[in-house]
A = this chain, B = another copy of it.
């Protein structure tokens, strides 16, 4: 099943779309948050008649699991260049995700100023990275890793064996079978990697995402993306994880930030 199919939605009315969380997109039995957000973004994008995702931010309130979902949309503003909508992803009468998204007209005039203080992460060629594949006999790597292609920088894979001491995770991301990615693929990429904080060698378990924001700079990325995730601050019972997602040509495709609560 393609990513487009796994995130597909059916319009029931202007404000209600039906979708389905597919099985296998999970980690410790909980559906991947980026995947759930991508379904919400799909419904929002269709309601805007195909405008491009620029920004989506959402708070996760209940764990997702496979099965039918409803996406309830509320129009906030339809502007000349930008449309903003709310989406709630509902399963079994519980809200899994409350998101807000802004979508831009593809033909809008874009300011051509480019000023980039940064560079894509240095990564070995994909075949020298460590492809994350599900382990059928253990919870990690999770089933989700069978739904996308993630190839980790070999220096960062020690996460699972004590950690590098630097809360960073780098690697390649692609949809399976080289499916052409769209802006929504970056939403999944932004939540597809093992937590960067695993490399900090701290006494932390898996950290549930409270909120996730993805800012899309290029809504039409190509194939493999170079990704880097960093956590700098674990404090107050929380940690942030920031990502940069670049294309193969060294162009910034998206940025993300999530806040995770660190369980006691």
Contact = CB atoms under 8 A, between A and B. Distances in A.
A132 to B, nearest CB: 24
A262 interface: yes
A100 B54 contact: no
Contacts of A197: 115
Given A76-B95, A255-B233, A117 B59 contact: no
Contacts of A115: 167, 197, 200, 202, 233-235
A263 to B, nearest CB: 6
Nearest to A251: B235
Interface of A is mostly: strand
A111 B263 contact: yes
A167 B84 contact: no
B110 A233 contact: no
B252 A235 contact: yes
Contact of A210 (B54, B59, B76): B54
Interface in A161-175: 167
Interface stretch (A12-20, A21-29, A31-39, A211-219): A211-219
Contacts of A113: 202-204, 234, 262
A204 B204 CA distance: 43
A4 interface: no
A262 B111 contact: yes
Contacts of A62: 77
Contacts of A77: 61-62, 94-95
Contacts of A127: none
A257 interface: yes
Contacts of A55: 59, 210-211, 259
Nearest to A167: B117
A114 interface: yes
A140 interface: no
Contacts of A252: 233, 235-236
A114 B217 contact: no
Contact of A102 (B95, B100, B211, B215): B211
Given A116-B234, A202-B115, A255-B240, A264 B84 contact: no
A59 B233 contact: no
A255 B210 CA distance: 15
